[in-house]
């Protein structure tokens, strides 16, 4: 009789132990170097990433006519992802032909990274006088302005004071995207760039 109850008891205990350690068991990270950005160091690391900073903007190089190609070379330009570059070279009426342009995708992808950093900094508001915080905030704002400026050089007309165009750029200022954004005018685009730069100036060291 006692033996029977002992058996039942051991089983129950074993089951409960498995149950309680089971949920802690799931806290291991799947990939060692993976992280949800949370600390200030994480945010700085995102901004330090080279591919964020060194994207060769194809359309600016082609548009600035930095080089030329022979007819045969242009004819034999490979089809595929870079097809829009071939059209850009001859300033074709329809450059993209429905495909996506890396310049736009990566251009905005870089702005997203800055937004993630800026949004993440909000949790550290009490540190806003410390040097690390200021460095990260200033850098992020500067980069965002720079990336937006680069996009504006390619995709928006220049700002002409008496003949302002309303066809500026659409962009997001936060990483929590819950509704579509809208296209700003050229003036608004440059105003954003300027305000980011001026704000960055407040945070960066002399």
Partner 1 sequence: MLLGLLLTTASYGQTAVKGKVTDVQGSGIAGASIRSHKSVKFFTSANDGSFSIEINFADDTLEFAAVGYLPQKVEVGTIDLSDLTVSLELDTRLIDEVEVVNTGYYSLPKERLTGSFEHIGEKELQRSASPTILGRLEGMVNGLQFDRSGQSRENVNGFSFRIRGLSTIESDRVPLIVWDGFPFEGRLEDINPENVQSVTVLKDAAASSIWGARAGNGVIVITSKSGAREQVALNYVGNTTVMNVPDLFYNPNRLEAPVVMDMQKSMFLKGRYQEQDQIQLPEYVELLIQHRDGLIDETEFARQQELLKGRDFRREATEHLYRKQVGQQHNVTISGGGKMSKFFLSGFYQDEAATVVGNDSRNLGFTANNQFNLFKGNEVSVNINYTSQRARENGLTFNELSNAVGGADIYSTLVLENSDFATVPRYGVRQTVIENAEALGLMDWSYSPLMDRALLDNQSNRNALLLQFGVKQQLLPNWSIQLRYQYGNNRAESQDVYDVDSYYVRDFRNRYMDPVTKQSPIPNGSIFQMDPVQKTTQGRVRLQSDFNKDFQWDGGLNLLVGAELSRSEQWMEPGSIVYNYDKELWTGNASLDFSKLYALWGGGMARIPSPVVSRRASSGRDVSYYGNMSYTHHKKYVVSGSLRWDGSNLFGVKANQKGTPLWSIGAAWTVSDERFFPKLDNGYLKIRATYGVAGNMDRSQSSYPTISYIVNSITNRTSASLGHPGNPLLRWEQVRMVNLGMDWQTGRLSGSIEPYWKKSSDLLGNVLMDPTTGTAIFSNYKMNYADMGTRGVDIKLAADVLKGSVDWTVSVLYSHVTNRVDNFVDNTIVNSDYYLATGRIPREGSSLDALYALPWHGLSPENGLPIIFVEGEPSSDYTSFYQGFDPLALLDAGVTVAPNFLHLQNQLQFKGFSLGGIIGMRWGHVFRRSSMYPGAELAYPGAEYHRDYTRRWQAPGDEQHTIVPASVEALNVNLLNTFKYSSALVEKADVIRLQQINVSYDVPTSWSSKAGVKRLSAFANLNNVGILWRANNERIDPDFPNADYPAPFQFTLGLRLQL
Interface residues with partner 1 (CB under 8 A)?
Answer: 4, 7-8, 11, 14-15, 18-19, 22-23, 25-37, 42, 45-46, 48-51, 70, 72-73, 75-76, 78-79, 83, 94, 97-100, 104-106, 108-113, 115-116, 170-172, 175-177, 180-181
Q: Looking at beta carbons only, is 17 or 202 nearer to partner 1?
A: 17
- Tokens encoding 137: 């905030």
As measured in angstroms, the least distance from the Cβ of 65 to partner 1 is: 21
Q: Looking at beta carbons only, is 48 or 201 nearer to partner 1?
A: 48
Q: Looking at beta carbons only, is 29 or 162 nearer to partner 1?
A: 29
Contact 63, 74 (CB under 8 A): no
119-157 burial: b if 16+ Cβ within 10 Å, else e = bbbeebeeeeeeeebbbbbbbbbbbbbbbbbbbbebbbe
As measured in angstroms, the least distance from the Cβ of 171 to partner 1 is: 7
**CA proximity to 84, closest of 64, 69, 103, 101:** 101
As measured in angstroms, the least distance from the Cβ of 19 to partner 1 is: 7
Q: Looking at beta carbons only, is 9 or 198 nearer to partner 1?
A: 9
Kind and range of the H or E run holding 181: none
Q: What whole-number distance in Å separates Cα of residue 149 and Cα of residue 67? A: 23
As measured in angstroms, the least distance from the Cβ of 50 to partner 1 is: 6
Q: Looking at beta carbons only, is 20 or 202 nearer to partner 1?
A: 20
As measured in angstroms, the least distance from the Cβ of 132 to partner 1 is: 15
As measured in angstroms, the least distance from the Cβ of 145 to partner 1 is: 16
- Tokens encoding 122: 């909000």
Look at the block and give the residue holding tokens 């950093």: 117
Contact 107, 151 (CB under 8 A): yes
Q: What whole-number distance in Å separates Cα of residue 169 and Cα of residue 155? A: 7
Q: Looking at beta carbons only, is 35 or 202 nearer to partner 1?
A: 35
Q: What whole-number distance in Å separates Cα of residue 52 and Cα of residue 204? A: 20
């Amino acid at each position: 009789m006692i033996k029977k109850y002992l058996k039942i008891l051991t089983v129950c205990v074993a089951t409960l132990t498995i149950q309680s350690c089971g949920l802690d068991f799931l806290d291991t990270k799947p990939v060692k170097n993976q992280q949800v950005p949370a600390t200030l160091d994480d945010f700085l690391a995102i901004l330090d990433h080279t591919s964020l900073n060194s994207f060769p903007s194809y359309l600016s190089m082609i548009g600035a006519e930095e080089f030329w190609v022979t007819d045969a070379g242009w004819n034999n330009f490979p089809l595929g992802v870079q097809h829009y570059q071939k059209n850009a070279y001859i300033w074709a009426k329809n450059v993209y032909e429905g495909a996506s342009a890396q310049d736009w995708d990566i251009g905005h992808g870089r702005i997203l990274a800055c937004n993630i950093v800026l949004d993440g900094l909000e949790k550290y508001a009490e540190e806003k006088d410390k040097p690390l915080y200021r460095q990260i905030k200033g850098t992020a704002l500067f980069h965002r302005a720079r990336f937006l400026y680069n996009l504006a050089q390619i995709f928006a007309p220049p700002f002409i004071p008496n003949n302002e165009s309303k066809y500026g750029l659409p962009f997001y200022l936060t990483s929590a995207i819950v509704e579509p954004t809208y296209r700003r005018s050229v003036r608004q685009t440059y105003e954003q760039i300027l305000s980011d730069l001026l704000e960055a100036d407040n945070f960066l060291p002399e």
